């Protein structure tokens, strides 16, 4: 009777371990990396995003999440673009015209402009980002 009392818990632990191994390793899908954000981009056919980076830093002494975005004019005519970035999990949004300045404020075909967009008082990176690039209309 004595050996049976020790064998039952060992068998149960062994079965639990085997079940967790089988169910934990039986998937073909890679595990989601929680540190990588979900980025959705809606880019007009006249534009191409050449650079998209984010970094935590400061903007005028306040903590900020700063995006650096490069946009290339792939159309055959001078264009100006409106860039919007939405941090959907934080309910924040910001944007810029690209190019910011100029006379006239347009990008020639094939040229690339880079802008920085800060999200002031944002101390962590977003996990759900929406980027929209469309031609600016007046």
Report if residue 7 sits inside a domain.
no
Q: Is 46 in contact with 72 (CB distance < 8 Å)?
A: no
Cα 103 from Cα 82, distance rounded (Å): 17
Number of domains in the chain: 1
Q: Is 73 in contact with 46 (CB distance < 8 Å)?
A: yes
Report if residue 14 sits inside a domain.
no
Q: What's the domain range around 55?
A: 38-135
Q: Which residue has the higher pLDDT, 97 or 138?
A: 97
Domain with 43 in it: what CATH number?
Answer: 2.60.40
- C-beta neighbour count of 126 within 10 angstroms: 21
Q: Is 69 in contact with 118 (CB distance < 8 Å)?
A: no
What are the backbone dihedrals phi and psi of residue 63, each rounded to the nearest 5 degrees, phi first?
A: -65, 145
Q: What is the pLDDT of residues 44-87, one digit of tens each?
A: 999 999 999 999 999 889 999 999 999 999 999 999 999 999 99
Cα 69 from Cα 49, distance rounded (Å): 7
Q: What is the pLDDT of residues 116-131, one digit of tens each?
A: 999 999 999 999 999 9
pTM of whole model > 0.75?
Answer: no
Report if residue 22 sits inside a domain.
no
Q: Is 95 in contact with 117 (CB distance < 8 Å)?
A: yes
Report if residue 30 sits inside a domain.
no
């Amino acid at each position: 009777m004595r050996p049976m009392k020790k064998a039952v818990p060992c068998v149960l632990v062994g079965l639990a371990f085997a079940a967790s191994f089988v169910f934990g390793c039986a998937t073909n899908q890679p595990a989601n990396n929680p540190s990588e954000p979900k980025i959705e981009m809606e880019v007009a056919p006249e534009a191409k995003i050449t650079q998209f980076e984010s970094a935590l830093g400061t903007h005028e002494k306040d903590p900020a999440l700063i995006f650096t975005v490069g946009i290339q004019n792939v159309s055959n005519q001078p264009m100006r673009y409106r860039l919007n970035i939405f941090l959907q999990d934080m309910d924040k949004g910001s944007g810029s015209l690209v190019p910011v300045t100029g006379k006239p404020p347009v990008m020639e075909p094939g040229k690339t402009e880079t802008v920085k967009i800060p999200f002031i008082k944002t101390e962590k990176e977003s996990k759900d980002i929406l980027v929209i690039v469309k031609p600016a209309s007046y």
